[in-house]
Structure 1
């Protein structure tokens, strides 16, 4: 009788949450005006609905409805980006995906999708109500249509180990040789003077994120896995996670990431429309750097040149029998003019996201009389590109402001500009090692158009020469395979 009463109460709560939460989703899905005016650099209305989404997912899981919970998890992601992508791809706004449509995305990508959802709850701690991490939900969607669900208890992290998932991720990055600072939602990375052995932290993250689903991931190393992170999980270098046998995840799987399943689907549709339209390969390296004020009110300082990036660009250009744009020739105006004709865009320059700069996210190009030399995220999202791939060979280019609506940064702006795939970095990257990795990547890509497989090959090759994961694990493929 008690179980029946509990179930009844849960059902009532479920209905109430659905009534309050789902109509707002539908407003977003059906409001054409919102889709036309939403800025990809701003979080969506769902930023304020995270707790409601969490409660609804939790109730659905308690009622043994993991597929319904997956739909809610997916609906809470990237609505601003999805609105823009759907606006560009068709005359009608795309509605949130059903479970069957999610299965179709896995099938069309021929990949296993792994979606994470961090569930927070209120706890009474020392007489005060506090919101803490409670559980990590993981869905594995196979290309066959099979969906598996796992739940990981996160409470022991703060109850017994005096830490959290976010702290664990931050600490793992520090032991890799990079550190994370959160300032107004922007991730700023610095190199500490002393580096530690990162293996223990990478194994702990593997234990939480991968071990619970390891037995249902594909056995073949060339089978694709697309991770869909949430929150601080966007900072995780999935390729460098280490199992108990000392094997990195990239040694066992071909890995990429995506902002959300629906964004992945819309980007795939865009890719199908632009295939073969653009022919050129645009390679930019070490442009004459512009000046920028490092802090508000300070005099502008010219950024340092990157001779390693120039050689990287020239070596890559030789693979495609083209000329790289370097130095004074790589002006913002010239690069932007050439972008719409390019199927591959490689930008090896200063850039990334930094809240202490006047421009939050941008890429440094040579200034001219027509421009200031800064290609900002705001300028990028207004472009209409036909490139199949943009590679941002610079610092922090996969990062940005982490919100409930995903990462708002350079990669998101290129997605809004209709690029289906972006390769960006999770921290500040070293010149020599990055050049080696990029050349290996393009040599493989010129033989086989599988971007994720080419990046895996490049990482494994770089790992042999430069074993520290800081030197080979920074880059991640985001979007369509």
Structure 2
């Protein structure tokens, strides 16, 4: 046997790569890596082998090769271009292998590390670094962050790459955009990616064109253009059927799955059979390669395909196979939990409710194991969202067997769980809190006892998700439970077919129309502009400074309120009337956190707020309180923190964004003066209202009132909102975290989280969209939840951009009623009713809501 020198082996491997013989190149690179005596050259060969392993779908081997390369580089002090580039490439391969094998958190961590290195050391890898970060984020469910990363990847590829690289990144951006319902961006990305890939003459065009065609098929299927979708998906798979295409196993498997999905959507027996054959092929190849993720996902997809055509025996068999494969994968319990969710849903559809309940509870136990390993609050909340899917399936299962109390308990099991643990355990230092000791589950009996003790009626809403496995059309049903003071609990099920169009959207889809003379704007430019534009306020009379400047800021209409009331209020109205109380607590779910419950009209067109004191709670435990209606809390003038019309910030909220141009808010300044006067205090106005001053006074305040501009909580920008305060000369300690562009003018969640605000029971956020945020089992992830987590009992927020003058009138009336003895809930109710008489448009008063305790009383010391 002739032993070739390592350099010759590497040359042969490079030749095999050019001929797209990945398996041959993989073996040669490994041989060269073992033979090279030089550490750096050996590391480069291990990195090349990692790239080939990724091409072949051998992700465990890819991780091993990447780690070997990094280990060799860690032992060298050289800082040559070869060392830098080899390290970056090895990290890119490691990031891919980690999330492909199920370690999503590890994949994101490595992707962020390599992004920092590429941006600082080698801009040639910036697009790929953005791409890897986007992949890790989208797999973890952080679609907003993925959108931004993929848009920057396209932008970078346009500046430095070829049309084929741009096409590849456009496909990823389009997939992320489609995930959040931005169909215009998805459509444009798909069309341009296909055009660029077809125009390329490079050898690698096959894989990229197949990806572009496959994604175009997905877009066409969503537009109900089934035959066109199947045609595009078939062309993609045909391209990959040659010797070159068959080597890109990941793309090939994805193309089979996309064609199968398009075929299934046609609802024709012959096409359904073909789809199942394609998915079986995927599963067989995954088993042969040992691809754990694809084994589980393909088995689950086959199960879903059988379930769509009511072949439940086969569906159950494949679902069981997915569960067994996930248990044997060795990648952690989350894979088995996901497979058990699919199996439990199918058992429920088949009518085997008891067995379905057992399987779903097994999934719950596995998710508890996963959550026990979380390292921070954000990660914990993300996993709660995954676990909530199992509880939604449990609700359907228990309702089907007539156990509506059990379904209610499942609905509440993960609502506000981390917030409860945080408050029960007491405040601990540090900006974030990992999961604490488990709390006892809320029982239906406990809710009835609480309602009787507080003489309050509680409405619990839940969105249990699609009824059948394999169907991803979104929520079509809502459950509503009414818990009355007399101990009765009533369950209602309502359809949502007519109401989705009336709900506001967290991410707007913008179209880049042209007049024929101007070239259409690239989709990534349009998206990045929508994400970052903060140079104008949509309406000079509002307190809005949203970075999404193109978002539709129009308020809700009477017609929309009637439509929402027909679905979410009318079914329970008789129960509310029979309850014999005017005290109402609402526990919403999902997008219902954005619902203006106060403004929903009753049958006689009277808004709910006219007859009920309404409070919104993230969970049943944070609902009514019987002990809070005692002696008012006294507010000395020195402990009344009132902020009005701060000078505008001079720097952007986040690096890369322009500095916002914010108009003055004269009515907000008047509001602050009037509110402060009611307590004998002095408001912080204009240049005085700096973040340093606010943070110094906030822990000693008995209440805090902010009349200012605000950024809404944005999933896309990954911020839970921010209040705009006056600039100061003090450096921002968070500049290192947020970058050199960050300003000290903003009060963000990371400034509030470390505080103990149990002595400040009331916070009023009199600004635009302060009640907005990403819906989660913990409620809206915005500023309001941040304040609740620090010990604040009541937070007053707005759900949309609010008028400056109308808001000033409402807030002044709120505090006027508060200082004369009303509770927070009653004071807000009276203030809304008064404002309605002066400002008739619903958008001027309907968006204000009280989160938390509606029974809080405050009184100035002078009037106590």
Partners of 2:694 and 2:712 in 1: CA distance: 20
2:585 and 2:616 in contact (8 A); partners too = yes
Change (3 A) 1:83 1:428: same
Structure 1, 100-109 or 379-388: larger mean CA deviation: 100-109
Q: CA distance change for structure 1 residues 322 and 146 in 2, over 3 Å: closer, same or farther? A: same
- Aligned pair partner of 1:424 in 787, 797, 802: 797
Q: Normalising by structure 1, what TM-score?
A: 0.83
Name the CA distance, whole Å, in 2 between partners of 1:321 and 1:346.
14
Q: Which residue is 1:327 aligned to?
A: 686
The answer to whether 1:16 aligns with 2:388 is no
- Name the CA shift for 1:187/1:64 in 2 (closer, same or farther; >3 Å): farther
Tell me the SS of whatever aligns to 2:359. Answer: helix
Q: Secondary structure at the match of 1:208?
A: helix
Q: Is the 8 A contact 1:437 1:459 kept in 2?
A: yes
The residue number in structure 2 matching 1:455 is: 828
Question: Do structure 1's residue 338 and structure 2's residue 711 form an aligned pair?
Answer: no
- The 3-state SS of whatever aligns with 2:426 is helix
Matched, 1:133 2:471: no
- Deviation, 1:27, is 7.9
Are the aligned partners of 1:293 and 1:357 in contact in 2 as well (CA < 8 Å)?
Answer: no
- The reply on whether 1:312 has 2:648 as its aligned counterpart is no
Of the structure 1 ranges 280-289 and 95-104, higher mean CA displacement relative to structure 2 is found in 95-104
For CA contacts below 8 A with separation 6 or more, give which structure has more relative contact order. 1
SS in 1 for 2:618: coil
Query: Bigger shift: 318-327 or 419-428?
Result: 318-327
Preserved CA contact (<8 Å) 2:464 2:478: yes
Question: What's the CA shift for 1:170?
Answer: 2.8
SS of residue matched to 1:375: strand
For residues 73-92 of structure 1, the aligned pairs below 5 Å read: 73-88=411-426
Q: Take 1:96 and 1:194, find their aligned partners in 2: how far apart are those partners?
A: 40
Partners in 2 of 1:479 and 1:187 — Cα distance?
28
Residue of structure 1 in register with 2:767 after alignment: 394
Question: Is the 1:40–1:416 contact (alpha carbons within 8 Å) kept by the matching residues of 2?
Answer: no
The structure-2 alpha-carbon separation of the partners of 1:247 and 1:54, relative to structure 1 and needing over 3 Å to count, comes to same
Q: 5+ unaligned residues in a row in structure 1: which ranges?
A: 158-162, 175-180
- What SS does structure 2 have at the residue aligned with 1:133? coil
Give the CA deviation at 1:115.
0.6
Alpha-carbon separation, structure 2, partners of 1:397 and 1:169: 17
Could you say what secondary structure the match of 2:364 adopts? helix
Matched, 1:170 2:499: no
Q: Alpha-carbon deviation of 1:341?
A: 1.7
Query: 2:748 maps to which residue?
Result: 376
- Equivalent pair of 2:427/2:756 in contact (CA under 8 Å): no
Correspondence for 2:722 among 362, 386, 399: 362
Task: Please give the per-residue CA displacement for 1:73-103, whole angstroms capped at 9, x wherever unaligned.
Answer: 0013223323322332799552322223333
Change (3 A) 1:88 1:270: farther
Preserved CA contact (<8 Å) 2:803 2:844: yes
- Aligned partner of 1:142 in structure 2 is 484
Instruction: Please list the CA deviations of residues 9-67 of structure 1 after superposition, one character each: whole Å capped at 9, or x if unmatched.
Output: 21111122122225645886xx6x86xx5426962412112332122111111111111
- Aligned mates of 2:815, 2:606 — CA distance in 1: 25
The CA distance in 2 between the partners of 1:442 and 1:194, in whole Å, is 27
C-alpha distance in 1, partners of 2:396/2:850? 31
1:315 shift after superposition? 0.7
- Report the alpha carbon displacement of residue 295 of structure 1 after superposing the two structures with TM: 7.6
Counterparts of 2:370 and 2:635, CA distance in 1: 36
1:81-480 aligned at under 5 Å gives the runs: 81-88=419-426, 93-121=438-466, 129-154=471-496, 157=497, 165-170=499-504, 198-218=557-577, 223-264=582-623, 276=633, 279=636, 280-293=639-652, 296-353=655-712, 355=714, 361-370=721-730, 371=732, 372-385=744-757, 386-480=759-853
SS of equivalent to 1:53: helix
Which structure has the highest strand share of the two? 1
TM-score (structure 2 length as normaliser): 0.48
Separation in 2 of the partners of 1:214 and 1:430? 31
Shift of residue 237 of structure 1? 0.7
- CA displacement at 1:258 relative to structure 2: 0.9
Name the CA shift for 1:454/1:339 in 2 (closer, same or farther; >3 Å): same
Q: Give CA deviations for 1:265-292 in whole Å, capped at 9, x if unaligned.
A: 7xx6997999859752211111222223
Q: 1:191 to 1:120 in 2, by over 3 A?
A: closer
User: Matched residue pairs, number?
Assistant: 448
Larger Rg: 2
Decide which moves more: 137-146 or 301-310: 301-310
Q: Deviations over 1:79-137 (max 9, x none)?
A: 3323322332799552322223333433454321101011222559xxx8433323211
